[in-house]
């Protein structure tokens, strides 16, 4: 059974269980608890889209919760609009607010983004108080109670909150099994690697933020009618909303749609029961319960209950690790490689210069990359080789000069844009998505060419077959050898179907056998029509591998040509290879 079908069946079971509980519960107070469980599970799921999937921790998600509540209520008061429509308007307003908030805030990263989000609910709270909406009661509509979401039967609020939970679960499942979900997970794990694989990080974060704002606003509107009846800024924009959202998500486990559901099912009944029984003697008992739960989770299951149980089950099923497998004979064409080499200029680098706080890392670098060749970039440490790669694939913008790929200027494009135009990249230190399987790692690259999961999976499996890792598809990167990690990164790069690949020291850290495996793989890529530009310090292997060499020293090109000529160049030997190489190269008979 496919992952998608299993997810839909699980959602149907949860919704069915909610329906059974709703009709089994008789007391009004118990209906209130059930409504709260559904509501806070929904709020946790909304927060989880941006903070769990994308890894952008938001401490101010109650801004959208409050927008939904106040927009719905003010439309009732000012326009007599039914909350069934008003809550949809509130969701639209929240999505618009997410765009306005995200545009400046996503320029920040890490803790700075999280702290910045704190400001927005405070701003909305101050605005509501300034406008005179400190306490706004929901107008009673006895004659049109159902039209205005004012039910005498508490079970109706259960079913309303459950419907919203079901819709948000469906949204979360759709995200998890889509290209968006894979890309958000990749951004969370390693943003630079994701960008290099074609993921537009800013756009994906903004999409996730907008999607998370809508259910948060809807649950805010339902919460106002089912629980509050009198809306105040503190009740919907206050810190308690964030505390409860974070608690149910962290206890259950972030990054999965089941985490917030588990957390709400555990924490809400416990805290509400304690508040009802001990609240008069121990005011604030709910806050104490939340605090103790967070401390316990941090100490004993920092990843959350869902992931703790899931990882324990998987650990029992994981087979013993195997060593690297030989390279299979699957042709490169199976993953959409470039056509046979033509020798035409594929990439033009013209007068590229880059400085960092006065340090000139690159100065006047000019060369061409011809289609179908293997071009080596060599030079001593600090010569600017990796800086050059970062300019070529968009991580850095040069102060001067231009890079053109297939006749199109790529200078100034983001790495994701450069990747989409056909330039792949691996890194000097392998950058993985550590909590994703090997297959999922490669699928992140495959989604650049295939929007749907099934063809992307087929493309990724073909890439793994190419590098000999098809039998490690279900492993995680932590279980791979150094060679397997580099092969996995190469497979992820090739899954983007590049015309040109930038390999940053792919032989680093490999044994002699590993070097032979990797050099054979690079030759296979070129044989399939993929152009290769490689940085490498293992000179013996590179001299045999490369068609041409470009030599950098202190950011300047000092030589270019066939490996045999370049390695005999006295300037190259003096700057990089050393005087022993110079004596050997100039000895009689050499």
Handedness of CA 270, 271, 275, 279 (dihedral sign): positive
- CA dihedral for 378, 384, 387, 391, sign (positive or negative): negative
Q: How confident is the model at residue 320 (pLDDT cuts 50, 70, 90)?
A: very low
Answer yes or no: are the C-beta atoms of 486 and 426 closer than 8 Å.
Answer: yes
Q: Is the pTM of this model over 0.85?
A: yes
Distance CA 177, CA 171 (A): 10
Indicate whether 118 belongs to any domain.
yes
CB 72 within 8 A of CB 131: no
Question: Buried (b) or exposed (e) across 264-279, using 16+ Cβ within 10 A?
Answer: bbbbbeebbeebeeee
Assigned token pair, 248: 């149910």
Integer Cα distance of 481 and 466 in angstroms: 17
Is 249 part of any domain? no
Does 304 fall in a domain? Answer: no
What Rg do the C-alpha atoms of the chain give, in angstroms? 29
**Is pLDDT above 80 for 424?**
yes
Q: What is the pLDDT of residues 149-161, one digit of tens each?
A: 999 999 999 999 9
Instruction: Examine the domain organization and report whether 11 and 159 are in the same domain.
Output: yes
Arithmetic mean of pLDDT, 127-135: 93
Please report, for the domain that includes residue 555, its CATH number.
Answer: 3.40.50.300
- The answer to whether 157 and 31 have CB atoms below 8 angstroms apart is yes
Q: What is the DSSP code (8-state) at residue 138?
A: P
Amino acid 312: pLDDT = 81
Longest dimension (CA), the chain: 108
Structural contact between residues 263 and 307, judged by C-beta atoms closer than 8 angstroms: no
Residue 295, helix vs strand vs coil: helix
**69, 184: one domain:** yes
142 — pLDDT class (breaks 50, 70, 90): confident
Q: How do strand 556-561 and strand 423-425 relate by DSSP bridges?
A: unpaired
Q: How many helices (H) and strands (E) does the chain have?
A: 25, 12
Q: What is the pLDDT of residues 169-219, one digit of tens each?
A: 999 999 999 999 999 999 999 999 999 999 999 999 999 999 999 999 999
- Residue at which a domain ends, from 169, 201, 236: 236
Confidence at residue 337, expressed as pLDDT on a 0 to 100 scale: 40
The average confidence (pLDDT) of the chain is 90
Render pLDDT for 521-550 as a digit per residue (tens, 0 to 9). 999 999 989 999 999 988 888 988 999 999
pLDDT value for 589: 53
Rounded to an integer, what distance in angstroms lies between the CA atom of residue 495 and that of residue 114? 34
Query: Given 194, 212, 236, which residue is the final one in a domain?
Result: 236
Structure confidence at residue 579 as a pLDDT band (50, 70, 90):
low
User: Can you give the residue range of the structural domain that contains 426?
Assistant: 337-437+475-586
35 in a domain, yes or no? Answer: yes
pLDDT given for residue 278 in this prediction: 76
In a shared domain, residues 231 and 341: no
**pLDDT tens sequence across 326-335:** 444 434 343 4
| pLDDT tens-digit map of 33-91 | 999 999 999 999 999 999 999 999 999 999 999 999 999 999 999 999 999 999 999 99
The burial class, CB within 10 Å (0-12 / 13-18 / 19+), for 417 is: middle
Lowest mean pLDDT among 143-147, 407-411, 481-485, 537-541: 537-541
Q: What is the pLDDT of residue 308?
A: 87
Give domain status of residue 39, yes or no.
Answer: yes
Mean pLDDT calculated for residue range 391-415: 95
Total tally of structural domains belonging to the chain:
2
In this structure, are residues 532 and 375 in contact, taking their beta carbons and an 8 Å threshold? Answer: yes
CATH code: domain of residue 112: 1.10.3470.10
Residues 362 and 391 sit within 8 Å (Cβ to Cβ): yes
Cα-to-chain-centroid distance, residue 154: 40
Task: Give the pLDDT score at 334.
Answer: 39
SS3 508: coil
Around Cβ 66, how many Cβ atoms within 10 Å?
Answer: 30
Q: What is the pLDDT of residue 501?
A: 97
Residues 369 and 220 in one domain: no
Is residue 38, in this structure, part of any structural domain at all? yes
The CA distance from 163 to 17, in Å, is 13
Q: Looking up tokens 């459950």, which residue turns up? A: 162
Give the end of a domain, one of 170, 203, 236: 236
**Same domain, yes or no, for 167 and 41?**
yes
* Whole-angstrom distance, CA of residue 577 vs CA of residue 47: 55
Report the distance separating Cα 136 and Cα 385, nearest Å: 63
Span 500-516, average pLDDT:
93
Residue 351 within any structural domain of the chain: yes
Q: What is the pLDDT of residue 215?
A: 98
Which of 88-97, 319-328, 555-564 has the lowest average pLDDT? 319-328
223 and 87 assigned to the same domain? yes
Identify the pLDDT of residue 582: 56
Give domain status of residue 483, yes or no.
yes
Instruction: Examine the pLDDT at 292 and tell me if it is beyond 70.
Output: yes
Question: Is the model's pLDDT at 338 over the cut of 80?
Answer: no
Q: Edge-to-edge, what's the strand order for the sheet holding 531-535?
A: 423-425, 500-504, 531-535, 374-378, 548-553, 556-561
pLDDT over 90 percentage in the chain? 74
Residues 490 and 376 in one domain: yes
* Complete DSSP assignment for 302-365: TT-HHHHHHHHHHHHHPPPP-PPPPP----GGGG-PPPSP---EEEEEEEEEEEETTEEEEEEE
């Amino acid at each position: 059974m496919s992952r998608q079908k299993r997810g839909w069946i699980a959602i149907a079971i949860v919704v069915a269980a909610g329906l059974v509980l709703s009709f089994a519960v008789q007391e009004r107070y118990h209906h209130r608890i059930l409504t709260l469980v559904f509501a806070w599970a929904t709020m946790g799921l909304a927060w989880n889209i941006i903070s769990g999937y994308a890894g952008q921790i938001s401490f101010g998600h109650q801004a959208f919760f409050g927008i939904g509540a106040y927009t719905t209520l003010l439309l009732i008061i000012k326009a007599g609009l039914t909350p069934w429509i008003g809550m949809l308007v509130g969701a639209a307003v929240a999505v618009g607010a997410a765009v306005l908030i995200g545009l400046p805030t996503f320029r920040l990263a890490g803790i700075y983004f999280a702290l910045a989000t704190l400001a927005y609910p405070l701003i909305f709270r101050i605005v509501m108080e300034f406008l005179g909406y400190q306490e706004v009661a929901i107008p009673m509509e006895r004659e049109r109670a159902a039209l205005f979401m004012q039910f005498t039967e508490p079970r109706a609020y259960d079913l309303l909150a459950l419907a919203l939970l079901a819709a948000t679960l469906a949204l979360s499942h759709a995200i998890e099994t889509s290209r968006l979900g894979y890309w958000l997970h990749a951004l969370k794990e390693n943003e630079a690697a994701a960008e290099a694989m074609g993921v537009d990080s800013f756009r994906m974060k903004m999409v996730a933020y907008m999607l998370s704002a809508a259910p948060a606003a809807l649950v805010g509107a339902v919460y106002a009618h089912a629980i509050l009846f009198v809306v105040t800024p503190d009740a919907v924009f206050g810190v308690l909303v964030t505390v409860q959202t974070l608690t149910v998500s962290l206890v259950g486990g972030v990054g999965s749609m089941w985490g917030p559901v588990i957390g709400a099912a555990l924490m809400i009944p416990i805290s509400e029961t304690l508040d009802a029984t001990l609240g008069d003697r121990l005011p604030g008992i709910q806050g104490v319960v939340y605090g103790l739960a967070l401390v316990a989770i941090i100490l004993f299951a920092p990843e959350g209950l869902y992931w703790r149980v899931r990882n324990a089950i998987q650990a029992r099923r994981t087979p013993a690790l195997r060593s690297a497998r030989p390279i299979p004979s699957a042709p490169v064409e199976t993953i959409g490689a470039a056509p046979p080499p033509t020798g035409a200029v594929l990439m033009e680098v013209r007068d590229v210069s880059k400085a960092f706080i006065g340090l000139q890392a690159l100065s006047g670098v000019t060369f061409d990359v011809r289609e179908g060749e293997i071009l080596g970039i060599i030079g001593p440490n600090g010569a600017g080789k990796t800086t050059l790669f970062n300019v070529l694939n968009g991580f850095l913008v040069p102060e001067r000069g231009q890079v053109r790929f297939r006749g199109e200027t790529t200078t100034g494009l983001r790495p994701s844009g450069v990747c989409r135009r056909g330039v792949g990249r691996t890194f000097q230190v392998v950058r993985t998505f550590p909590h994703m399987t090997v297959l999922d790692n490669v699928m992140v690259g495959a989604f650049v060419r295939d929007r749907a999961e099934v063809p992307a999976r087929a493309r990724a499996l073909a890439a793994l077959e190419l590098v000999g890792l098809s039998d490690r598809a279900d492993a995680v990167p932590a279980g791979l050898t150094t060679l397997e990690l580099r092969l996995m990164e190469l497979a992820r790069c090739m899954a983007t179907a590049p015309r040109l690949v930038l390999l940053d020291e792919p032989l680093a850290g490999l044994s002699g056998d590993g070097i032979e495996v990797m050099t054979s793989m690079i030759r296979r890529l070129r044989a399939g029509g993929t152009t290769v530009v490689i940085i490498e310090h293992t000179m013996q292997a590179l001299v045999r591998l490369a068609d041409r060499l470009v030599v950098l020293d202190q950011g300047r090109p000092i030589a270019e040509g066939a490996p045999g000529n370049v390695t005999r160049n006295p300037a190259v030997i003096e700057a990089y290879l050393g005087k022993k190489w110079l004596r050997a190269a100039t000895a009689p008979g050499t």
